[in-house]
């Protein structure tokens, strides 16, 4: 066995163990009885310890040292594997094994408490767990090290090379554009009766219709499934087993439907990575901005397009004959693209969505900069909601406790949602320039050409390239918000007659 083969054997074992850990986590969110929470936290802690030990072992270190001179500069999959592995090995080696295990246990415990506390609107019960999450995240940043901001150290997990200062500038540009456009839309007034979407949409019909559309997009249910959770997510154990979740509300159709399309976008990314990346770090998901570009692309640019509803509306009427009996496709297009400041991020429209993200980003920064205490989050959250969106949450559940991310220790993740919005349009425009009128394809129910283009340009590569390299290769230029802002202006000016 060559040294490269020996390394790949070790990485395959790590990949399998990672899949087991993710399967255990998926079960915790979907199937596990509530009484199993304490035992599950211990199990996840043990798995995290074993994975950290394997990922930072002397065997991997020695093999990297031997292989880097030969492969580290080669433009090949093996070269990309060695480069990525070196980056991840050095980063992981900075964290003590006991700390990694403790963090995994604390995340599991916090997630269990968050779900119960959110349901009960009990901030006091969740607060100590959230304080622990922020504290452990800050310790992670200190272990990793950083030049100018602890947030930079956390960003690396989701988008290597991205800096806090970069996000501040991008968000400032998006905010400067968004606020005046939002004011013009509000002044234009409502165009249709939006209460249609709050009529009765039977849950089984919602599930059937959502999965029918997701499969038409390209989500393969022979290698996936849909389950119900407190907060939607996608997870994969290999490209052959990629699962999604959502949550249903009989009287709010967009929540589950667009949740399924969003998570299906993530899932199709994983299902379409190249076969030769299997059981290596290159295959386990791409970077977060690229990943979110896919979920937002299929959710918004496809699923909220006029062409989409031209094709699917008559089928939607068959699934929901009572709710949609007096509506047509053109009206449905306006309904699902309503712009209205709201409380819940995952239900926000395309225009105001980024304001929800900016709010979370700024609160995270304030805590890591010691300008805000975790206990002060509810008041700070409500103040920013009023400032940015003109609404104030009536309770914790629809305010500071609405997202699962902080209980899972996913700090510095939120900005990648907005960056994913920006990249989604940049990719869509590039695809359109090469393929022609995509909206006309959607009106014919044709989605495979777009998925094929995305697979070739982005999905198949997995983590072969770092984010700036991947974006440059796919679009021919660095990440730019200009296409996204032009898209928002054109779309909503048309819908609201601006």
Q: What is the average pLDDT value for the chain, to the nearest integer? A: 94
pLDDT digits (tens, 9 = 90+) for 193-206: 899 999 999 999 99
- In terms of residues, how long is the chain? 498
Return the pLDDT at 230.
81
- Rounded to an integer, the average pLDDT of 261-281 is 96
Residues 6 or more apart in contact with residue 369 via CB below 8 angstroms: none
Return the pLDDT at 498.
87
- Rounded to an integer, the average pLDDT of 343-353 is 92
- Rounded to an integer, the average pLDDT of 122-133 is 97
Both structure tokens of 196 = 């249609």
Say whether 244 sits in a helix, a strand or coil: strand
Say whether 234 sits in a helix, a strand or coil: strand
Q: What percentage of the chain has pLDDT greater than the value 70?
A: 100
Return the pLDDT at 327.
95
- Rounded to an integer, the average pLDDT of 166-172 is 94
Residue 276: exposure state from Cβ atoms within 10 A (0-12, 13-18, ≥19)? exposed
Return the pLDDT at 286.
79
pTM comes to: 0.93
Q: What's the rounded Cα separation, in Å, for the pair 364 and 452?
A: 37
Q: What's the rounded Cα separation, in Å, for the pair 159 and 387?
A: 29
**What burial letters (b/e) apply to 218-240, b meaning 16+ CB within 10 Å?**
bbeeebbebeebbbbbbbbbbbe
For 316, the enclosing helix (H) or strand (E) is: helix 306-319
User: 247 with 230: CB under 8 angstroms?
Assistant: yes
Residue with tokens 């869509």: 428
Return the pLDDT at 465.
93
- Rounded to an integer, the average pLDDT of 36-61 is 92
Return the pLDDT at 26.
87
Q: What's the rounded Cα separation, in Å, for the pair 385 and 379?
A: 10
Return the pLDDT at 221.
96
Residue 31 predicted with pLDDT over 80: yes
Range with lowest mean pLDDT among 33-37, 330-334, 380-384:
33-37
Range with lowest mean pLDDT among 275-289, 414-428, 445-459:
275-289
Quick one: pLDDT band at residue 70, thresholds 50, 70, 90? confident
Both structure tokens of 473 = 């290769």
Return the pLDDT at 73.
77
Both structure tokens of 36 = 């199993």
Strand-pair category, 234-238 with 241-246: antiparallel
- Rounded to an integer, the average pLDDT of 408-430 is 96
Residues 6 or more apart in contact with residue 349 via CB below 8 angstroms: 337, 338, 339, 340, 342
Both structure tokens of 300 = 């918004």
Torsion of CA 169, 172, 177, 178, to 10 degrees: 130
User: 412 with 151: CB under 8 angstroms?
Assistant: yes
- Residue 298 DSSP code: I
Q: What percentage of the chain has pLDDT greater than the value 90?
A: 89
- Rounded to an integer, the average pLDDT of 251-270 is 96
Q: Where are the domains of the chain?
A: 3-145, 164-496
Return the pLDDT at 346.
87
Both structure tokens of 4 = 């490269």
Say whether 67 sits in a helix, a strand or coil: helix
Quick one: pLDDT band at residue 457, thresholds 50, 70, 90? very high
Catalytic residue list contains 270: no
Return the pLDDT at 321.
97
CA angle, corner 477, sides to 475 and 480, nearest 5? 95
Q: What's the rounded Cα separation, in Å, for the pair 244 and 261?
A: 10
CATH 1.10.1370.30 fits 164-496, yes or no: yes
Return the pLDDT at 139.
96
Residues 6 or more apart in contact with residue 345 via CB below 8 angstroms: 353, 356, 357, 360, 402, 403
Q: What's the rounded Cα separation, in Å, for the pair 439 and 306?
A: 7
Q: What's phi and psi for 341, nearest 5 deg? A: -55, 135
Which of 29, 109, 115, 263 is labelled catalytic?
263
Return the pLDDT at 75.
83
Query: Closest Cα partner for 242 from 262, 274, 219, 218?
Result: 219
- Rounded to an integer, the average pLDDT of 97-107 is 94
Say whether 226 sits in a helix, a strand or coil: strand
Residue with tokens 């928002």: 488
Q: In what order do the strands lie in the sheet with 241-246?
A: 226-228, 241-246, 234-238
Say whether 412 sits in a helix, a strand or coil: coil
CA torsion through residues 193, 199, 203, 204, sign: negative
Q: What's the rounded Cα separation, in Å, for the pair 256 and 248?
A: 5
Quick one: pLDDT band at residue 191, thresholds 50, 70, 90? confident
- Rounded to an integer, the average pLDDT of 166-181 is 94
């Amino acid at each position: 066995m060559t040294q490269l083969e020996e390394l790949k054997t070790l990485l395959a074992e790590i990949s399998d163990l990672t899949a087991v850990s993710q399967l255990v986590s998926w079960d915790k969110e979907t199937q596990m009885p509530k009484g199993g929470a304490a035992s599950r936290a211990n199990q996840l802690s043990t798995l995290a310890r074993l994975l950290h030990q394997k990922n930072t072992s002397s065997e991997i270190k020695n093999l990297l040292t031997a292989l880097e001179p030969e492969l580290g500069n080669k433009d090949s999959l093996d070269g990309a594997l060695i480069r990525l592995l070196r980056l991840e090995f050095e980063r992981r080696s900075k964290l003590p094994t006991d700390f990694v295990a403790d963090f995994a246990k604390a995340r599991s415990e916090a997630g269990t408490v968050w779900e119960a506390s959110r349901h009960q609107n009990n901030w006091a019960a969740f607060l100590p767990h959230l304080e622990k999450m922020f504290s452990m995240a800050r310790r992670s940043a200190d272990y990793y090290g950083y030049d100018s901001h602890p947030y930079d150290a956390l960003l690396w997990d989701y988008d290597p090379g991205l800096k806090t200062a970069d996000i501040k500038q991008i968000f400032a540009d998006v905010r400067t554009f968004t606020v005046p456009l939002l004011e013009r839309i509000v002044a234009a007034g409502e165009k249709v009766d939006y209460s249609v979407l709050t009529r009765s949409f039977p849950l089984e019909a919602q599930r059937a219709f959502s999965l029918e559309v997701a499969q038409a997009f390209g989500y393969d249910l022979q290698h996936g499934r849909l389950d119900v959770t407190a907060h939607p997510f996608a997870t994969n154990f290999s490209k052959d087993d990629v699962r999604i979740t959502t949550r249903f509300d009989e009287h709010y159709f967009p929540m589950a439907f667009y949740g399924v399309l969003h998570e299906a976008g993530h899932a199709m990314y994983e299902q379409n990575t190249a076969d030769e990346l299997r059981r290596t770090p290159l295959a386990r998901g791409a970077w977060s901005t690229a990943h979110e570009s896919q979920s937002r692309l299929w959710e918004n640019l496809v699923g909220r397009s006029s062409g989409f509803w031209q094709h699917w509306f008559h089928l939607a009427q068959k699934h929901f004959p009572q709710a949609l009996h007096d509506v047509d496709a053109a009206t449905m297009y306006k309904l699902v693209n309503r712009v209205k400041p709201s409380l819940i991020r995952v239900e926000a429209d395309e225009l105001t969505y980024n304001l929800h993200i900016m709010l979370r980003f700024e609160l995270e920064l304030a805590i890591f900069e010691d300008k805000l205490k975790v206990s002060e989050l509810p008041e700070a959250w409500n103040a920013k909601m009023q400032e940015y969106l003109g609404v104030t949450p009536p309770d914790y559940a629809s305010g500071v406790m609405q997202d699962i991310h902080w209980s899972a220790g996913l700090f510095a993740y939120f900005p990648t949602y907005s960056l994913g919005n920006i990249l989604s349009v940049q990719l869509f425009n590039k695809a359109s320039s090469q393929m022609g009128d995509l909206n006309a394809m959607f009106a014919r129910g044709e989605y495979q050409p777009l998925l094929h283009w995305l697979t070739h340009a982005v999905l198949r590569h997995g983590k072969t390239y770092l984010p700036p390299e991947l974006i440059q290769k796919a679009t021919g230029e660095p990440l730019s918000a200009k296409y996204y802002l032009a898209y928002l202006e054109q779309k909503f000016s048309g819908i609201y007659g601006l």
